[in-house]
Structure 1
């Protein structure tokens, strides 16, 4: 499937990605720069980074597997993310940025106190590591099959690349990398979509709609309607919670320049949630027409349908460009992995090292410790991903749903509701997490999924897909209900809150209502630097892509490289033009 030119493209791309951390290294001057980009990131940077956080290799493997089996169901699932971003736009984005904290744990301390802060980080760190390891495992399983590299070696190589990105300038290099990676993902997936629809055996979008299996639009043929409807509904609720969760994707808003820019970045993410699934999933539906039996294409993959996107990409793209798509899938996972490293390093330095070991640590020392903790956590991430990959017994879609149903709900409730509802006591944060994990444990080991399917959904027997979805629904719904009920039950004890803690909560909520004043708060203007760094990276990457014109291909194949590289370089040129105008305005 891959040739020597594809391997060359992959190698060069990985080297380029590793260099991003080196390029950005000098821009991080203090802990705030390293852990949240100094709170000065522009809306288009954080917006693209937010889209990257919502994507991963999971989109092109596990989700593509479900698209290959049920078609438009996954498109609808992704479109149901839109309400989450509308809620964030109208109610949360501005409030989150105006908390004026460097790490999420500092916000937890202001809301719930110091004990909950420490409890939180030592629960959050392994949770983030589990999620980051899952993404690393996912992309490594795919790239191992596509490239032919042993799985454990693939995990090691990709883990090193992610570490290099995070080491350079922390959040600065992470967000800059996200923007560059997203340009590749967007250009690459659009190219695959166009060339797929141009295939004679597909016949454009009308032809595709005529040829796709009936179950792609009639989901009842694959799964009981009561199951897939409940799955979509609960997935939408979880997406609202996860996107609003300050310990997960909501943390992006701590990095943006001010409340207004936070709202703009939300619109970028919302737009991406509408269009990205279309360009990513329509080729997979076409793959079901071209390759009705993927076991013949990927005989060594335990779940061949997880390679459906790669199969159609290899079918339509010229030599060398297939390697770029492999890189795009890796790029889709970088954000989740390097964000997990950067966020955990922030917890270790800001909420542990300077709290208990060296309270007077200088900014330079905090930067050094941030990089040291990043390396330590990266080693742990690689080991954990290797362990998960070698002991996985179910498909990626089912595995990821199981991880999310067990890990996310207990953490998300106090991290969302605690910043919109203030009348709960200091212990409501940590106790809700404990209750949530107990509920998740009980649901996983003591609630019979077969019995739930029979008595709730009326299914005497369930197929593999129904069993996986019912498992996700039961564990997630039970955990959420217990966690939310306990959190609001604790409000009955709010009257016993100490005056000091009540003042802390009131001060936090006052800050969240107060707009950022850049002059009074002495914010450093880094706008020009962002245009310069990201513009230069895009220009370099686009120029390298256009060199793919020299790879032996048909004229049409060569022009694909000119188109992709030209678009990426063009974006870089636009950003550099804006940079020059800003520099001229500042000097004038």
Structure 2
């Protein structure tokens, strides 16, 4: 058995163990869905940060960063702006809802009919979204490790299901924190390596393949890019500051911890894009000479 397979297997067992260890933390529905509203800011901030991740972050987004430069980072900077607004106003308000699930808040605000509509209409979208995320993970796992895609989807889904059902929100948030630590460690290492092999940030930017490191190539009108960036910020603001996505702050111990959690997610989402843009160059540098990775501009 290859080392990569062993590592992935150990990680899956670790996730299942997290669910089993935290099973005793769940004694009622409040514990299961929101950790009893007693979690500290660094746990809530970690899960808020990891909510915006999927396999696309390090595949599609990384590839886009390599071909078009810093433009894709605006997606994540828009997330940082959304979390900043959480910190300024929305996070404490969400925590003060004092409900177990966001669906309860919808019932309180809009009535029973709207509660049912939101519940049932959201389920198909959630299933499709989860399927897309699992499929993206299976594609990258198949390409890198040679795993069978169907097996990867089924096994990953079962592991996540087992962890979530046995440990509830405590297990999910604990696993998010561990994933955050791993991602930060790996991407920092890759970014440092990329800057060393690439001759530093200045050299990477000066020798970037396209005409502009910020907007990429094949852009005839800067106004189009500006308009896109503005609407991306509006879109991500609405995603991170609505009642349906307020669940992450319901688990916070109090309003102050909710604000700190939002600030942590904001800081990580601000620093992260810079790290990920440079980290993409490590893979290219490991297979080709630097001159091929960073050809001179046309």
Q: Provide the TM-score with structure 2 as the length reference.
A: 0.90
Cα distance in structure 2, aligned partners of 1:107 and 1:189: 38
Partner of 2:250: 254
Alpha-carbon shift at residue 220 of structure 1 (Å): 6.0
Partner of 1:211: 207
Alpha-carbon shift at residue 194 of structure 1 (Å): 1.8
Aligned residue runs from structure 1 range 146-161, under 5 A: 146-161=144-159
Alpha-carbon shift at residue 119 of structure 1 (Å): 1.2
Aligned residue runs from structure 1 range 445-456, under 5 A: none
Partner of 1:102: 100
Q: 1:229 aligns with which of 218, 226, 229?
A: 226
Partner of 1:5: 3
Partner of 1:198: 196
Partner of 1:182: 180
Aligned residue runs from structure 1 range 384-423, under 5 A: none
Partner of 1:137: 135
CA contact (8 A) 1:48 1:178 kept: yes
Larger relative contact order (CA 8 Å, sep ≥ 6): 2
Cα distance in structure 2, aligned partners of 1:240 and 1:265: 17
Cα distance in structure 2, aligned partners of 1:290 and 1:175: 34
Partner of 2:170: 172
CA contact (8 A) 1:73 1:216 kept: no
Q: 2:239 aligns with which of 235, 239, 242?
A: 242
Alpha-carbon shift at residue 234 of structure 1 (Å): 1.3
Go from structure 1 to structure 2 and tell me whether the alpha carbon gap of 1:47 and 1:14 turns closer, same or farther (over 3 Å shift). same
Aligned residues: 289
CA contact (8 A) 2:41 2:252 kept: yes
Partner deviation per Cα, 1:361-383 (whole Å, 9 max, x = no partner): xxxxxxxxxxxxxxxxxxxxxxx
SS of 1:102's equivalent?
coil
Alpha-carbon shift at residue 21 of structure 1 (Å): 0.5
Partner of 1:39: 37
Give 5+ residue unaligned stretches, structure 2: 294-298
Q: Looking at CA atoms only, which structure, 1 or 2, has the larger radius of gyration?
A: 1
Alpha-carbon shift at residue 67 of structure 1 (Å): 0.8
SS of 1:221's equivalent?
coil
Alpha-carbon shift at residue 279 of structure 1 (Å): 1.7
Partner of 2:271: 275
Partner of 1:117: 115
Cα distance in structure 2, aligned partners of 1:215 and 1:105: 48
CA contact (8 A) 1:211 1:289 kept: no
Cα distance in structure 1, aligned partners of 2:241 and 2:129: 17
CA contact (8 A) 1:165 1:173 kept: yes
Alpha-carbon shift at residue 210 of structure 1 (Å): 3.3
Partner of 1:75: 73
RMSD between aligned residues: 2.1
Cα distance in structure 2, aligned partners of 1:222 and 1:64: 19
Aligned residue runs from structure 1 range 554-569, under 5 A: none
Alpha-carbon shift at residue 79 of structure 1 (Å): 1.9
Q: 1:84 aligns with which of 77, 82, 85?
A: 82
Alpha-carbon shift at residue 285 of structure 1 (Å): 4.2
Aligned residue runs from structure 1 range 274-423, under 5 A: 274-285=270-281, 287=283
Q: Provide the TM-score with structure 1 as the length reference.
A: 0.47
Alpha-carbon shift at residue 254 of structure 1 (Å): 1.0
Give 5+ residue unaligned stretches, structure 1: 294-307, 309-588
Alpha-carbon shift at residue 231 of structure 1 (Å): 2.1
Cα distance in structure 2, aligned partners of 1:108 and 1:89: 22
Cα distance in structure 2, aligned partners of 1:217 and 1:210: 8
SS of 2:243's equivalent?
coil
CA contact (8 A) 2:43 2:177 kept: yes
Alpha-carbon shift at residue 291 of structure 1 (Å): 5.8
Go from structure 1 to structure 2 and tell me whether the alpha carbon gap of 1:54 and 1:251 turns closer, same or farther (over 3 Å shift). same
SS of 1:71's equivalent?
helix
